[in-house]
A and B are shown apart, each in its own frame.
Chain A
Amino acid sequence: MSTLEIKGLHVSVVTEEGAKEILRGVDLTINSGETHAIMGPNGSGKSTLAYSIAGHPKYTITSGSVTLDGADVLDMTVDERAKAGLFLAMQYPVEVPGVSVSNFLRTAVTAIRGEAPKVRTWVGEVKEAMSQLSMDPAFSERNVNEGFSGGEKKRHEILQMELLKPKIAILDETDSGLDVDALRIVSEGVNRVKTNQDLGIMLITHYTRILRYIKPDFVHVFAGGRIVEEGGPELATKLEENGYAEYVTA
């Protein structure tokens, strides 16, 4: 049982006009096995929340805390956060030319687990995870995210999540750019990891479409850099009908 606890989080970025505050006091607790949907309009700060937790250097934490099972996440380097059990599935996964998927996965898993996986079991593990995500085995010889379609990038993110076995995963707009089939495959992957590994999930999305496949336990409406309303799955239905208009004007 793990808990990610975010308290009073304020985050700024440096712009040409000086520091600009994006997150204005975020409070959120995610436990193992729970799925929290963070929904909000573009520019509300959803991705900033995701990247701040993962430790992207662009964002400055001005106040507040983030802990994972009591450990201070904000005090950790980016790789230490991953080792502690956090995972960020990115909206725009980065290309790494000349580095094959298989080399990348093996290096990452070795770093997270603290020892190189046994060759024999590792090959089977990757193969099975890839086949469950309907990925061609030849995929592992390609360079990381280079020339991947939108759907391939997202599947590759979920593949990593499956192999790295995090405690808490943040899925940043994982549904964007996916057609219906790819959305189903990726969602099934997320649900599989959630069931098998008792994963806690922060699911960031603009649209309710993905919530038909990944059922949230909690829905948080995000606007103006903080959570402005919270509820159960029924809140998503309301958002689907009314949109974010009432929150944006507030």
Chain B
Amino acid sequence: MALATLTNYMTPTGREEPWRFTPLNRLAGLHDPQVSLRDRISLEPLDIPVGVSVTIEDAEAFPSLSETSDQIVIRVREGASKLLLLTIESNAEIREPIFLKREVLDLSPEVSRVQINAGANSHAIIVIENSGEGVFAEEIEFNLASGANIKFITLQEWSSRAVHVARHHAIVARDASFTSFVITVGGSLVRILPTVEYTGPGSTAELFGLYFATDGQHLEHRVHIDHDVPGAKSRVNYKGALNGDSARTVWIGDVFIKAAAQGTDTYELNRNLLLSHGARADSVPNLEIETGDIVGAGHASTTGRFDDEQLFYLMSRGIPAEQARRLVIRGFFSEIVSKLNLESIEVRIMERIDNELAEVIA
């Protein structure tokens, strides 16, 4: 096992394309084979509704469902002896969100492996709430059977020292629909890979994201969607704001339309709002198309500064500067936040952003 690990594992140096934006020295050893990773289950389910089961399983009994070349994800697979398995029964219609909470209070690097199986025609909303300060390498695999409809919300409300590196991979079968919201407002370094593959036609993935980085934060989201079956649809919309001269964000949007994927319909969008001069947002959409027989494929990426004309307009109606800024930023994010349909979370996220804005202004 140890030998196999060494042969499979190449320590990233930062020169590799997938790692070129990531400050490796701030990964707290997650990428370094010399640093051992704690092996435990850190997610805790709150209420588990009828039709859903959450169990701890031997990792060997549940092999990985997908391929990855990400070195840290490989470490998760090798380092996790147990996994958390969440199963939604076929045809189950779970109305209340299923909450899984992770609150970590120390900085020992650790792994977390999760599999979520959604039975045929099941409907559910899954919310993962991350808070505290941990150092985490995580893989979550979603396996959606035909007709399943899963909405997944992951909240990164970490405190300022946390490190969180994750791959969230969805396998979407015929007529199934996967919607994700990746909301990252905390952490020293967060690097999340929301990835999708399709196994049947009529399948849909909608990936939404919101990130807000302040001084000292590196928040990276690397979307990857493989269209290799006909008639699947994808939509991506990530919005980020940066406040503080050392705030950094990275958004990569890779969409591949293989020759077999006739009738593909895809569009991806990333918008960044720079609230201070030194802040830097990298945004790299990438669309590769091997068949012309598609419904549509497009992408857009914009990174702009805060619009002083908006501020002037609002202030000229009596609204004080700080409140006007908050209004504009809330407006910028509302397109994403309003789709959550979970009021308590909407309020909490926007309040956190308001507070961080106020701190910087003060």
- Beyond A79-B320, A94-B309, A94-B310, whether A99 also contacts B330 by CB under 8 A is yes
**A79 to B319, Cβ gap below 8 A?**
yes
Which of the residues B307, B312, B318, B332 comes within 8 Å of A108, measured between beta carbons?
B318
Tell me, yes or no, whether A13 is within 8 Å of chain B by CB: no
Q: Which residues of B contact A94 (CB under 8 A)?
A: 307, 309-310, 312-313
Within the complex, the shortest CB–CB distance from B127 to chain A, in Å, comes to 23
Mask for B315-344, Cβ within 8 A of A = 1, else 0?
111111101100110111111000000000
- Beyond A96-B327, A97-B332, A98-B335, whether A56 also contacts B312 by CB under 8 A is yes
**B316 to A96, Cβ gap below 8 A?**
no
For the complex, give the distance between the alpha carbons of A77 and B312 in Å.
10
Which of the residues B307, B310, B312 comes within 8 Å of A78, measured between beta carbons?
B312
For the complex, give the distance between the alpha carbons of A135 and B314 in Å.
21
Which of the residues B312, B316, B321, B328 comes within 8 Å of A99, measured between beta carbons?
B328
Within the complex, the shortest CB–CB distance from B116 to chain A, in Å, comes to 31
**B331 to A79, Cβ gap below 8 A?**
no
Task: Give how many B residues have a beta carbon under 8 Å from the other chain's beta carbons.
Answer: 24
Tell me, yes or no, whether A221 is within 8 Å of chain B by CB: no
CB interface residues, B 97-117, toward A, < 8 Å: none
- Beyond A94-B310, A111-B320, whether A78 also contacts B330 by CB under 8 A is no
Within the complex, the shortest CB–CB distance from B324 to chain A, in Å, comes to 8
For the complex, give the distance between the alpha carbons of A77 and B314 in Å.
12
Tell me, yes or no, whether A124 is within 8 Å of chain B by CB: no
- Beyond A57-B308, A107-B323, whether A82 also contacts B331 by CB under 8 A is no
For the complex, give the distance between the alpha carbons of A88 and B314 in Å.
11
For the complex, give the distance between the alpha carbons of A97 and B310 in Å.
10
Q: Which residues of B contact A78 (CB under 8 A)?
A: 312, 315-316, 321
Q: Which residues of A contact B314 (CB under 8 A)?
A: 96, 104, 108
Which partner residue on chain A sits nearest B333 by CB separation?
A98
Tell me, yes or no, whether A93 is within 8 Å of chain B by CB: yes
For the complex, give the distance between the alpha carbons of A145 and B321 in Å.
20
Tell me, yes or no, whether A55 is within 8 Å of chain B by CB: yes
Which partner residue on chain A sits nearest B317 by CB separation?
A108
Which partner residue on chain B sits nearest A92 by CB separation?
B309
Tell me, yes or no, whether A164 is within 8 Å of chain B by CB: yes
Mask for A44-75, Cβ within 8 A of B = 1, else 0?
00000000001111000000000000000000
Tell me, yes or no, whether A102 is within 8 Å of chain B by CB: no
Which partner residue on chain B sits nearest A97 by CB separation?
B331
- Beyond A56-B312, A57-B308, whether A99 also contacts B318 by CB under 8 A is no
Within the complex, the shortest CB–CB distance from A130 to chain B, in Å, comes to 17
CB interface residues, A 103-117, toward B, < 8 Å: 103-104, 107-108, 111-112
Q: Which residues of A contact B310 (CB under 8 A)?
A: 94-96
Which partner residue on chain A sits nearest B337 by CB separation?
A98
**B319 to A111, Cβ gap below 8 A?**
yes
Within the complex, the shortest CB–CB distance from A128 to chain B, in Å, comes to 20
For the complex, give the distance between the alpha carbons of A79 and B327 in Å.
14
Which partner residue on chain A sits nearest B338 by CB separation?
A98
- Beyond A79-B321, A83-B318, whether A98 also contacts B312 by CB under 8 A is no
Which partner residue on chain A sits nearest B329 by CB separation?
A98
Which of the residues B309, B315, B317, B331 comes within 8 Å of A143, measured between beta carbons?
B331
Which partner residue on chain B sits nearest A83 by CB separation?
B318
For the complex, give the distance between the alpha carbons of A97 and B273 in Å.
13
Q: Which residues of A contact B323 (CB under 8 A)?
A: 107, 111
Which partner residue on chain A sits nearest B309 by CB separation?
A94
Tell me, yes or no, whether A160 is within 8 Å of chain B by CB: yes
- Beyond A57-B308, A57-B312, A78-B312, whether A99 also contacts B331 by CB under 8 A is yes
Tell me, yes or no, whether A26 is within 8 Å of chain B by CB: no
Tell me, yes or no, whether A129 is within 8 Å of chain B by CB: no
**A112 to B330, Cβ gap below 8 A?**
no
Tell me, yes or no, whether A185 is within 8 Å of chain B by CB: no
Which of the residues B308, B318, B328, B333 comes within 8 Å of A96, measured between beta carbons?
B328
**B332 to A112, Cβ gap below 8 A?**
no
Tell me, yes or no, whether A235 is within 8 Å of chain B by CB: no
For the complex, give the distance between the alpha carbons of A6 and B77 in Å.
74
Binding site for B on A (CB under 8 A): 54-57, 77-79, 81-83, 87-88, 90, 93-99, 103-104, 107-108, 111-112, 143, 160, 164
Binding site for A on B (CB under 8 A): 307-310, 312-321, 323-324, 327-328, 330-335
- 25 inter-chain pairs at a CB distance below 8 angstroms, sorted by A residue, are A56-B312, A57-B308, A78-B312, A78-B316, A79-B316, A79-B319, A79-B324, A82-B318, A88-B316, A90-B313, A90-B316, A94-B309, A94-B310, A96-B314, A96-B327, A96-B328, A96-B331, A98-B330, A99-B331, A99-B334, A104-B314, A108-B318, A108-B319, A111-B323, A143-B331
Given contact pairs A82-B316, A98-B331, a sample of 15 additional A-B residue pairs in the complex whose CB atoms are under 8 Å apart: A57-B308, A77-B315, A78-B312, A79-B319, A82-B317, A87-B316, A88-B316, A90-B316, A93-B313, A107-B327, A111-B317, A111-B319, A111-B320, A112-B317, A164-B317
5 closest residue pairs by CB, A with B: A98-B331, A98-B334, A82-B318, A78-B315, A108-B317
